[in-house]
Amino acid sequence: MRSYSLIASAKINLYLEIIRDRPDGYHDLLMVLQSIDLADQIDLCPLGTDAIHLHCDHPEVPQDHRNLVYKAAALMAEKFPDAFAKYGGVNITIHKRIPVGAGLAGGSTNAAAVLVGLNLMWELGLNQRQLQYLGSLLGSDVPFCIAGGTMLATGRGEFLTPLPAIDNFYVVLAKYRSLSVSTAWAYQTYRHQYLRSDVLNASAIGHSKQRAYSGQIVSAITRQNEKQICQLLHNDLERVVLPKYPQVQRLQEEFQRLGCAGMMSGSGPTVFALTKSQQEAQQVLESVKRAIPDPDLDLWVSKFTRSSICVASSN
Ligand code: C5P
């Protein structure tokens, strides 16, 4: 049986609008999601036994059943017991480069890589739609992490509509190493502060969805209008995360001061800015470093990419 090494890309949210709260505790969203080439590597090696083993060198990543990667492998074993019995368990190693608890879907993309990798290793022949369905059982961002590229996402985030690829952007990412934001906290706080008094009727929801499908950011992407894409970046969760974490707000303001479109990704606390060249991205990174000389602040330059999960090698 073969071993696989997979590349699992991070994502950023170019647009995140919260439409309404749902009885199941989740929220209906409208998002534009974009894969970037900041990526982890996931190695899958067959084990002779029926166990799932997990290793990661990052101190904040759990190496047991709490990790979404472990849950992904356990889900595959549960759904495909014959393959699990025939091929046996798996040894999974995560080489972490995507920051943890950052709003960049690091855990989701690792889980997506395990679904894709076990589909190959166990010769299941599942198609992308089937893998995305399995991903939706693990987390709202996992289906996108399987699909990758540039997507409009609705529902919890699991219903995906491909948008024309945007290839020309570089991304500067900034995150305080010691800071992470609970996604559940961000959504629940938003629900209490902004959704309770704001009872949306069906026509308002319909209008809101219509606005997204035919909306400005989608048409800016369709027309590849890069200036407009930058102007239309939006994230509703900034309304609760920025007031609680002034240092994240400060980052956002610093990007703006440098003339970049700056926005928080997902539930944060990573803030990103878009640039048109790698050189410009590097200049922005150096300027932010100079303006905020905090040893706890990590910065990266990344690039938009069309793919999310790729097989790097198999043997
Ligand atoms: O789906 P996932 O496990 O990644 O979501 C983490 C948390 O984020 C959920 O428990 C929920 O509180 C919140 N969430 C939400 N609405 C969504 C996606 C996530 O409220 N559409």
Task: State which amino acid sits at residue 137.
Answer: L
Which ligand 1 atom is the nearest neighbour of the CA of 141?
4
Q: Please indicate whether residue 190, judged by its CB atom, sits closer than 6 Å to ligand 1.
A: no
Non-local CB neighbours of 138 within 8 Å, separated by 6+ positions: 68, 71, 72, 75, 108, 111
Domains for the chain: give ranges and CATH numbers.
4-166 (3.30.230.10), 170-303 (3.30.70.890)
Residue type, 139: G
Atom of ligand 1 nearest to the CA of 142: 4
pTM score of the predicted model: 0.95
> How far is residue 3's CA from residue 11's CA, in Å, rounded to a whole number?
26
Residue 152 Rama label (left phi>0; alpha psi -120 to 50; beta): beta
Write out pLDDT tens, residues 108-151: 999 999 999 999 999 999 999 999 999 999 999 999 999 999 99
Which is nearest to 26 in space by CA: 242, 195, 205? 195
**DSSP assignment string, 9-37:** EEEEEEEEEEEEE-TTS-EEEEEEEEEEE
Q: Which residue has the higher pLDDT, 261 or 158?
A: 158
Nearest CA to ligand 1 atom 3: 139
Rounded to the nearest whole angstrom, what is the distance from the C-alpha of residue 140 to the centroid of ligand 1? 6
Q: Write out the two tokens for 275.
A: 């640039």
Spatial separation of the C-alpha atoms in residues 45 and 294, rounded to whole Å: 40
Q: Could you tell me the distance, in angstroms and rounded to a whole number, from the CA of residue 224 to the centre of ligand 1?
A: 30
> Residue 205 — pLDDT band, cuts 50, 70, 90?
low
Cβ 158 under 6 angstroms from ligand 1? no
Interatomic CA distance for residues 291 and 214, integer angstroms = 39
What is the per-residue pLDDT for 209? 60
98, 265 Cβ separation under 8 angstroms: no
Nearest CA to ligand 1 atom 15: 26
Percent of the chain whose pLDDT exceeds 90: 90
Do 189 and 240 touch, CB atoms closer than 8 A? yes
Write out pLDDT tens, residues 130-140: 999 999 999 99
User: In the chain, which ranges are E strands?
Assistant: 4-21, 27-46, 52-56, 90-95, 150-154, 159-162, 170-176, 234-235, 261-264, 271-275, 297-303, 309-314
pLDDT at 48: 82
- pLDDT tens across 268-279, in order? 999 999 999 999
156 close to ligand 1 (CB < 6 Angstrom) = yes
**Residue 41: which pLDDT band, with cuts at 50, 70 and 90?**
very high
Residue with the bigger pLDDT between 41 and 201: it is: 41
Long-range contacts, 237-243 (Cβ 8 Å, 24+): 237/16, 237/18, 237/186, 237/187, 237/190, 237/264, 237/266, 237/267, 237/268, 238/263, 238/264, 238/268, 239/190, 239/193, 239/194, 240/186, 240/189, 240/190, 240/193, 241/181, 241/186, 241/267, 241/268, 241/269
Q: Is 238 in the pocket of ligand 1 (CB under 6 A)?
A: no
